[in-house]
């Protein structure tokens, strides 16, 4: 079963700094090819306007490039909030999240792209790797909301996504970063 379009939310079991308390938007997932997604809650200090001035006006607050993951950190993936229903030459819809598209930064913006979020790098899994991590309870697969990728408060996203799940996941939103200090 494909998880394409869903969110991966790190469980407290995942303590590695790169992925601890992350929320990942899955863009691709298949048994044959593995999975690819971007971390939604790791803003960098680099303004979108500094690296892609033509796209800066469509970037919501915080209008910075986000750290999408540890793979290919010098490449960019751009996600856009899509208002149209058909694909165009400037974006491709993300299956499972019809309001979301991967935007081609080399072409002019489509009027169907309302706002964009730019990510440096991505998170990737080889075939079977993500499934194994799910079985080890490292991630929860959760349905996204249209505003998740474009939140103005990315530092709160992990807690917000968990709180809206209801019990028992809502309780995890208050799990301390280091339970030994409690």
Q: pLDDT digits over 79-110, tens only?
A: 999 987 666 778 888 988 989 999 998 887 77
pTM of the predicted structure, to 2 decimals:
0.93
Instruction: Tell me what the pLDDT averaged over the chain comes to.
Output: 92
Q: CATH for 7-177?
A: 3.40.1740.10
Strand 64-67 relative to strand 23-30, pairing: unpaired
pLDDT of residue 29: 96
pLDDT digits (tens, 9 = 90+) for 111-162: 889 999 999 999 999 999 999 999 999 999 999 999 999 999 999 999 999 9
Q: What is the DSSP string of 52-100?
A: -GGGGGGPPSS-EEEE--SEEEEEEEEEEEE-SSS-BTTEEEETTEEEE
At 33, list the tokens: 């090819």
Region 36-50 average pLDDT: 97
Q: What is the DSSP string of 109-161?
A: PPTTEEEEEEEEEEEEE-TTHHHHHHHTTSEEEE---TTGGG-S-GGGHHHHH
At 132, list the tokens: 């194994």
pLDDT band for position 181 (cuts 50, 70, 90): low
Domain boundaries, the chain: 7-177
């Amino acid at each position: 079963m494909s998880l394409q379009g869903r969110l991966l939310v790190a469980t407290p079991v995942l303590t590695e700094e790169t992925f601890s308390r992350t929320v990942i938007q899955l863009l691709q997932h298949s048994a044959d090819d593995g999975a690819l997604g971007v971390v939604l809650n790791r803003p960098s200090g680099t303004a979108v306007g500094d690296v892609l001035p033509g796209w800066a006006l469509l970037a919501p607050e915080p209008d910075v490039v986000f750290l999408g993951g540890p793979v290919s950190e010098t490449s960019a993936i751009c996600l856009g909030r899509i208002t149209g229903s058909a694909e165009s030459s400037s974006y491709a819809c993300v299956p499972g999240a019809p309001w979301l598209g991967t935007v081609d930064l080399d072409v002019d913006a489509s009027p169907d792209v309302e706002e964009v979020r730019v990510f440096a790098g991505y998170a990737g899994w080889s075939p079977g790797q993500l499934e194994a991590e799910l079985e080890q309870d490292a991630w929860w697969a959760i349905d996204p909301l249209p505003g998740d990728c474009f939140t103005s408060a990315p530092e709160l996203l992990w807690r917000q996504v968990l709180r809206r799940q209801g019990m028992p996941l809502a309780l995890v939103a208050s799990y301390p970063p280091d339970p030994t200090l409690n």
